[in-house]
Amino acid sequence: MASSIKSLDFKKFLSMLPDRQERFEAAPATLPPGSDQARVIARALHPVRQYLRVAAVTERGADCKSFDLVPDPERGTTALAWFGAGKYLTVFETIEGMRVTRAYSISSSPKQALEGKYTLTIKLVEGGLMSRYILDNWTVGTPVEVSAPSGSFEYQPLRDAKKVICLAGGSGITPFLSMAAAIADGDEDFEMTLLYGSRTWDAILFRDELAEIEKKTDKVKVIHVLSEKTSGRMRKGTEKGFITAELIQKYAPTDEPYSVFLCGPQQMYAFVDKELEKLNLERKYIRHEMFGEFHDPASQPDYPSDVPETVQITVTIQDETKTVTGSTGDSVMQILEKNGIAVPARCRSGECGFCHSHLLAGKVYVPKNMEYRRMADHKFDCIHPCCSFPLTNLVLNVPAAR
Ligand SMILES: Cc1cc2nc3c(=O)[nH]c(=O)nc-3n(C[C@H](O)[C@H](O)[C@H](O)COP(=O)(O)OP(=O)(O)OC[C@H]3O[C@@H](n4cnc5c(N)ncnc54)[C@H](O)[C@@H]3O)c2cc1C
Ligand code: FES
């Protein structure tokens, strides 16, 4: 709490108070009789589930597609929950009898949600379960089940600087496309300089869409950073190589603070985080989107030695207890899912707390960059199964999947 208060800008906060006061005064003093406005709004913004169907599919190269999703009134969803640009949806699928969940950022704008459409853009991950399934199976008309929009990767005027350098890699462009469109629509008020890393000019996702947004607003500027040599001359305004501290400095303001937002694959974070250290930015000005599940914990320098290859997990969910066996290379959540036990999940990155469970016996390893637990969680032995890897046999209480 103290650290989140410290990260706020009180000058900005005070400047917003008069506007807040005006809104209070303009609001009706009493609710209309018989209405329960707060509950109606809460349900519309945070539905437990949204039942949608695929309305259109757009190919984006050999291994990536965008899916337009619209409400499916026949299954009870008549309107889409609104969201702040940068949020993700958790997709629920049943693949070979196994309940699978994965997070996908909404690449369309908040305005489009009000018009009845979300777009998800999904890139194939080699050997991946959900991305392969979606790319092979979702066609026009496919029913889709998703969560309410979730996540905290969004612009917060009280915390973030007015100028934001956004660093994207590959499919990490999706939340930034939504933010850029929201700026052009007047729904977000900040200046975005997007350094977007792709392999080649042809591999750039949403190249035309980004160019269109740049034409609509001078608050969005896009610089493509290409890592592979391309034949012919470099296009004007394109950078070569990787996103380095030097490159960020070239485009960052020199006379005022700026925020850095980062979204891309795990390997990009490891590289860019080292570059960001050179810039000595205040911690509150650096924001990372989560990158999803962690694989291969044994590659981490602080992973203990002498961990057995397999372990047993005794798990109780809603008065039912089962004992299953799994590999210590898998997270507790993956082991349970592989054994047909569905665990509540949203981000699968340790951040949302949705899978919060009680560890009654045994030890787990949590990679450093996925350790979002609070002090009380450590004190009372609570873990997030999505990013906890068993080191010994475990006994655990898990909430029922929602
Ligand atoms: C907030 C958020 C937003 C996201 N937004 C997007 C988006 O807009 N678009 C998008 O395409 N993706 C997005 N992702 C990533 C997405 O959630 C999935 O992680 C991605 O689609 C891969 O899922 P999968 O089931 O296909 O792969 P998985 O089955 O989870 O496998 C992932 C990779 O790990 C490897 N692997 C699996 N098991 C092991 C193991 N034991 N050891 C070593 N390696 C292993 C697989 O071979 C594969 O290469 C987002 C993630 C988060 C957290
Ligand atoms: S699913 Fe979000 S913390 Fe585990």
**10-residue stretch averages of pLDDT, the chain, 402 residues long:** 59 81 80 68 81 98 95 96 96 92 97 97 95 98 97 94 96 97 97 96 94 97 89 73 95 94 90 93 91 88 95 94 97 94 93 95 93 91 97 94 74
Strand intervals (E) in 8-142:
50-59, 64-71, 88-95, 98-105, 118-123
**pLDDT score at 33:** 63
Name the pTM for this structure: 0.89
Going from the Cα of 329 to the center of ligand 2, the distance in angstroms, rounded, reads 18
**Domain at 163-288: CATH architecture:** 3-Layer(aba) Sandwich (3.40)
Indicate if ligand 1 lies below 6 Å from the C-beta of 119: no
Going from the Cα of 128 to the center of ligand 1, the distance in angstroms, rounded, reads 6
**pLDDT score at 292:** 84
User: Can you give the residue ranges of every domain in the chain?
Assistant: 47-146, 163-288, 297-397
Q: Please give the number of the atom of ligand 2 that sits closest to the Cα of 348.
A: 1
* CA distances, 196 to each of 134, 239, 270, 394 (Å): 25, 10, 16, 43
**pLDDT score at 36:** 72
Indicate if ligand 1 lies below 6 Å from the C-beta of 194: no
In this structure, which ligand is nearest to the CA of 150?
1
Q: Which residues line ligand 2 (CB under 6 A)?
A: 345-348, 350-355, 384, 386
Cβ atoms within 10 Å of 190's Cβ, excluding its own: 18
Q: Please give the number of the atom of ligand 1 that sits closest to the Cα of 153.
A: 1
For the domain covering 47-146, report its CATH number. Answer: 2.40.30.10
Gap between the Cα atoms of 395 and 392, Å rounded: 10
Q: Please give the number of the atom of ligand 2 that sits closest to the Cα of 355.
A: 4
Going from the Cα of 266 to the center of ligand 1, the distance in angstroms, rounded, reads 10
Gap between the Cα atoms of 265 and 197, Å rounded: 11
Fold of 297-397: Ubiquitin-like (UB roll) (3.10.20)
Cα angle, residue 314 at apex, residues 311 and 315 outer, rounded to 5°: 130
Indicate if ligand 1 lies below 6 Å from the C-beta of 337: no
In this structure, which ligand is nearest to the CA of 357?
2
Tokens coding 120: 């998800």
Q: Please give the number of the atom of ligand 1 that sits closest to the Cα of 130.
A: 25
297-397 shares the fold of 47-146: no
Task: Identify any residues that bridge with 315 across adjacent strands, giving them in sequence order.
Answer: 322, 396
